[in-house]
């Protein structure tokens, strides 16, 4: 008489066992399941057997293998994969698992069990995924910096369109700049800083929060970039450094003004590295060779060449005496140092070309192709950064330099529709007025009238 199977033992497979009790719906002539589903079932059974071997079933497996897989039924000749009965008389059972015929191929390939009523992998971390690294956890994997994600979304959705009106430059800001930022951390920090300042201008309730984030990101990025500028410039770094300087100009101009300082552009600011960055920009541009450059930042150099040709063309068509002629005469009379006079003359000449667009048509535009824009401000600062801007630094800047700078504020006033230039003209004019003596205040009457500013 055969012993009755215990509650935890598996039912032996005999020739008379119904197919349903084996968990199969299609059997071949030999009792094995056929078709793709049968192959999947064999794989699952093999996996179950392997798990039994790992959990202490090696003795029974050996007995089953030596005995030709004899079953416990009365016939004793079944070739099904039943539970073998070792010599000790103990009936071993394999663990039961819910089976699924609809699991995804990835789960089957990785031998991950899925619930019978689900076709997806388990939601909890798998021991296969984190094997060998028990310290990993789901909470660590799913941590996201939502603020930085908000900043990058804002930059690619809104900010990029405010950094220039040229279509090619806008596309570069939206795609190329982000791609370069993903390759260079200090570029990414600077992108996030500019985006944070942009948000601070429009989300007034959280303005302080965004300004703080902007400062944190820019400080981290600037430490790395400035260190690279202080050493030998490698050509492969110049593209990233050029982009960093460009974004830093937007960041510096878009930063909040402080009444206690001598202004950002005067050299006494919350960002002491700003003037240094401008003065260090020229060797970077020289290494890139803007006349022959064909890299990812080509739209910037193409725009610069286009604006330069536009300024020269319209300057020649403007009737009457040269613009800023009176200022040039006053400077030439007051300055005796030839080198210093050349520096002042160059700054006045380039500023005159830009301001020509303002007076040629009376409204700052000569048609859509030559409309005055914020990039003209940046171009002037690039041209005079090396020699002229340092003359504005310190507690007692040169009087002639401050007077020339006051005329530059006319240009800022005409493009203050950009958030990163908003309010700068009158803020800086107040600083100019404080620095000038009574004689040189007479030199800046035209800028005061154009700005509509009233002296204290």
Helix 325-334, helix 399-414: angle, nearest 10: 160
The pLDDT mean for the chain works out to 73
Q: Which of 245, 265, 288 is the last residue of a domain?
A: 288
More confident residue, 196 or 262: 196
Measured between alpha carbons, how far is 374 from 163 in angstroms, rounded to an integer? 8
Pair 339, 273 in one domain: no
Pair 316, 401 in one domain: yes
Length of the chain: 456
pLDDT of 265 higher than 60: no
Pair 276, 353 in one domain: no
Pair 351, 266 in one domain: no
> Has residue 279 been placed in a domain?
yes
Measured between alpha carbons, how far is 8 from 5 in angstroms, rounded to an integer? 8
Per-residue pLDDT tens digits for 89-146: 555 555 555 555 545 554 555 555 544 444 444 444 443 344 445 555 555 666 899 9
> Has residue 64 been placed in a domain?
no
Pair 271, 170 in one domain: yes
Find the domain containing 196 and state its range.
146-288
pLDDT grade, residue 414 (50/70/90)? confident
CA-to-CA dists, residue 204 to 214, 258, 275, angstroms: 15, 17, 29
Pair 281, 327 in one domain: no
φ, ψ for residue 33, nearest 5 deg: -75, 140
> Has residue 283 been placed in a domain?
yes
> Has residue 72 been placed in a domain?
no
Pair 378, 418 in one domain: yes
- Which pLDDT value is given to residue 213? 98
> Has residue 260 been placed in a domain?
yes
pLDDT of 446 higher than 90: yes
Pair 280, 318 in one domain: no
Structure tokens at 340: 């210093």
Q: Which of 288, 307, 331 is the last residue of a domain?
A: 288
CA 173 and chain centroid, separation: 11
- Which pLDDT value is given to residue 3? 47
Pair 210, 310 in one domain: no
- 17-31, 147-161, 312-326, 370-384: lowest mean pLDDT where? 17-31
Pair 280, 347 in one domain: no
Please report where in the chains the tokens 């401008």 appear, as a residue.
Answer: 278
- Which pLDDT value is given to residue 330? 96
Pair 274, 416 in one domain: no
pLDDT of 150 higher than 60: yes
Q: Which of 288, 317, 350 is the last residue of a domain?
A: 288
Look at the chain and report how many structural domains it folds into: 2
> Has residue 66 been placed in a domain?
no
> Has residue 268 been placed in a domain?
yes
Pair 216, 358 in one domain: no
> Has residue 332 been placed in a domain?
yes
pLDDT grade, residue 257 (50/70/90)? confident
**For the purposes of burial, counting CB atoms within 10 Å of the CB of 399, is it exposed (0-12), middle (13-18) or buried (19 or more)?**
middle
């Amino acid at each position: 008489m055969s012993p009755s199977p215990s509650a935890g033992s598996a039912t032996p497979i005999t020739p008379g066992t119904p197919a349903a009790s084996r968990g199969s719906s299609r059997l071949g002539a030999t009792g094995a399941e056929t078709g793709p589903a049968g192959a999947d079932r064999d794989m699952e059974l093999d996996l179950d057997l392997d798990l039994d071997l790992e959990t202490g079933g090696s003795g029974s497996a050996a007995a089953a293998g030596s005995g030709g897989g004899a079953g416990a039924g009365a016939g004793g000749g079944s070739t099904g994969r039943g539970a073998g009965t070792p010599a000790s008389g103990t009936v071993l059972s394999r663990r039961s698992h819910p089976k699924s015929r609809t699991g995804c191929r990835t789960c089957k390939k990785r031998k991950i069990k899925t619930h019978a009523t689900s076709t997806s992998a388990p939601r909890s971390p798998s021991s296969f995924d984190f094997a060998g690294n028990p310290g990993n956890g789901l909470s660590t994997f799913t941590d996201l910096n939502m603020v930085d994600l908000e900043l990058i979304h804002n930059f690619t959705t809104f900010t990029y369109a405010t950094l220039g009106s040229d279509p090619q430059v806008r596309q570069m800001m939206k795609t190329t700049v982000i791609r370069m930022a993903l390759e260079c951390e200090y570029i990414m920090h600077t992108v996030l800083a500019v985006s944070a300042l942009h948000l601070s201008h429009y989300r007034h309730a959280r303005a302080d929060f965004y300004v703080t984030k902007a400062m944190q990101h820019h400080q981290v990025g600037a430490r790395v970039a400035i260190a690279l500028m202080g050493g030998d410039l490698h050509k492969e770094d110049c593209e990233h450094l050029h982009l960093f300087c460009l974004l830093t100009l937007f960041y510096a101009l878009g930063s909040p003004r402080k009444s206690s300082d001598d202004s950002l552009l005067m050299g006494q600011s919350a960002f002491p590295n700003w003037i240094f960055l401008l003065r260090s920009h020229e060797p970077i541009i020289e290494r890139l060779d803007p006349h022959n450059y064909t890299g990812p930042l080509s739209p910037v150099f193409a725009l610069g060449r286009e604006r330069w040709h536009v300024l020269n063309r319209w300057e020649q068509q403007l009737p009457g005496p040269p613009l800023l002629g009176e200022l040039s005469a006053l400077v030439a009379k007051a300055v005796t140092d030839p080198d210093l006079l050349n520096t002042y003359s160059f700054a006045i000449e380039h500023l005159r070309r830009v301001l020509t667009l303002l007076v040629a048509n009376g409204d700052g535009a000569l048609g859509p192709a030559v409309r005055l824009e914020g990039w003209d401000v940046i171009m002037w600062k690039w041209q005079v950064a090396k020699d002229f801007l340092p003359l504005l630094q310190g507690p007692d800047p040169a009087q002639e330099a401050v007077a020339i700078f006051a005329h530059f504020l006319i240009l800022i006033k005409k493009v203050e529709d950009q958030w990163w230039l908003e309010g700068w003209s009158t803020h800086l004019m107040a600083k100019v007025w404080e620095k000038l003596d009574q004689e040189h205040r007479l030199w800046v009457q035209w800028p005061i009238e154009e700005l509509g500013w009233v002296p204290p």
